[in-house]
Amino acid sequence: MTHILVTGAAGMIGRKLTERLAKDGTLNGRKIERLTLTDVVKPPKLSGFSGAVEAWVSDLTAPREAERAVAARPDVIFHLAGVVSGEAELDLEKGYRVNLDGTRALLDAVRKTGRGYCPKLIFTSSIAVFGAPFPDMIRDEFHLTPLTSYGTQKAMSELLLSDYSRRGFVEGVGIRLPTICVRPGKPNKAASGFFSGIIREPLAGETAVLPVSESVQHTHASPRAAIGFLIHAAGLAREQLGTRINLNMPGVSCTVGEQLAALKRVAGEKVAARIRRETDPLVEKIVGGWPEIFDAQRAIKLGFRAEDTFDEIIHIHIEDELGGKFAA
């Protein structure tokens, strides 16, 4: 039997992960007996899950909240709670409090539980831990020189995860997510949000704003792939990872222009015409400091999988979020 804790369970990735776990009913071949879901807003109710579910509003940085989250000693922790890139850059104090202090509070709560407790802990990091100047290909061991506060907070959390894993408090895996695209729902404050917006809004019959040049290149994976990364990471043995527990995830590297070309192929010229160019210097600056192409061979050898083309990413969004139809 397995007890799973998901922090940030009300977010897009958190909701999709908990729905997948509830649907599967198992993780690593073991029945999921209990799900504990926390976030700063109430996580949505789950349907079709036969095990026990506890869901509550929680800020991990508040007194005793992290201890409350791990009091029942969950076997697997998916730590997804965090402030997105644009918000972390605009609100320095909030970014460090949520992204760094919240992670340390969770790790310390696990450590203080003691009595041989050592859960598997999957942490969602980011490609923003890397900063320019870049080589042609970014490998796992490329030095961490983030150029944003968000990237700095994620890099510091990666180091914490590595140290707490080395000391035997957790069995950690850090997955450096590419930009998740196409994100469903309303736009958030992530600097990368336009990558989804220029696909999501036109497919919904709405106008989208493109704040950067079409020459901007980036790496993407679908929400479906991201959930696959998380679940696969939970099944990796410590021996498979060794001491380098933070991994670049695979994805589709393409320019914004190539994204738009894929949109035309999938949905037609009329849909692709629903994009307005409007430069945003802050977004350009943030995105310009992110890496473009990754060597994810280590992750691939460990069994992680993403899409092969951006066309496939668009088709997945239409299938998973639009019921197979879009506004032509």
Q: Which residues are tagged catalytic?
A: 150
Instruction: Judge contact between 313 and 307, C-beta under 8 A.
Output: yes
CA 86 – CA 296 distance, rounded (Å)? 26
- Residue 220's DSSP bridge partners are 179, 252
Q: Which among 158, 190, 265 is positioned nearest to 12, based on CA atoms?
A: 190
User: Which two three-digit tokens encode residue 3?
Assistant: 């007890």
Q: Which among 129, 2, 10, 152 is positioned nearest to 77, based on CA atoms?
A: 2
Query: At what angle are helices 223-234 and 12-24 packed, to 10 degrees?
Result: 60
CA 149 – CA 166 distance, rounded (Å)? 26
Going from the C-alpha of 23 to that of each of 14, 31, 81, the distances in angstroms are 14, 12, 22
Instruction: Judge contact between 180 and 124, C-beta under 8 A.
Output: no
Q: What is the DSSP string of 177-189?
A: E-EE-SPPSS--S
The backbone torsions φ and ψ at residue 124, rounded to the nearest 5 degrees and listed phi first, read -90, 105
Instruction: Judge contact between 223 and 180, C-beta under 8 A.
Output: yes
CA 6 – CA 112 distance, rounded (Å)? 19
Count Cβ neighbours within 10 Å for each residue of 96-123 and write b for 16 or more, e otherwise. Answer: bbbbbbbbbbbbbbbbebeeeebbbbbb
